[in-house]
Amino acid sequence: VHRISSEFLPAEPTEQASYLAIYRRRDDKVRFLELNTVTAALLDAVDTNQAAVTGEILLRQLATTIHYPDVDALIKHGVNALEEMRRLEILTGTRRAG
């Protein structure tokens, strides 16, 4: 949907789902960020984090849920994604482990 234009009008849906983070920055500018499936699941986990657990715990839970073969790699990439979303003002803060 985010790529539709007068030059690109697909007749069929794409094979892969599209995930977008739509957010408003402190300066009131609205921005969009295309997410991959894992990052979208991470952002959903952050949004529904009722227990207020750390990002590392959320990432470990996500790795288990999606049967990710390299938990440490997922945590490393996930931490980078969380930091980037904080820099972009999608997330307002993070908690350190421990």
**Predicted pLDDT at 98:** 54
Range of the domain at 44: 19-87
- Are 48 and 36 in contact by the 8 Å Cβ rule? The answer is no
The residue behind tokens 């959903």 is 44
Q: Say if 68 falls within a structural domain.
A: yes
Task: Give the tens place of pLDDT for each residue, 1-34.
Answer: 455 555 656 677 667 788 888 889 999 999 988 8
Domain total in the chain:
1
Model confidence pLDDT, tens digit, residues 37-54: 999 999 999 888 888 888
How much is the pTM? 0.74
Is 32 inside a domain boundary? yes
In a domain, 33, yes or no: yes
* Residue 10 falls inside a structural domain: no
Kindly state whether residue 94 falls inside one of the protein's structural domains: no
CA distances to 57, 79, 85, 88 from 93, in Å: 16, 13, 9, 11
Question: Do the domain assignments include residue 9?
Answer: no
In a domain, 11, yes or no: no
How does pLDDT run across 48-78, given as a tens digit for each residue?
Answer: 888 888 889 999 999 999 999 999 999 999 9
Within-domain flag for 59? yes
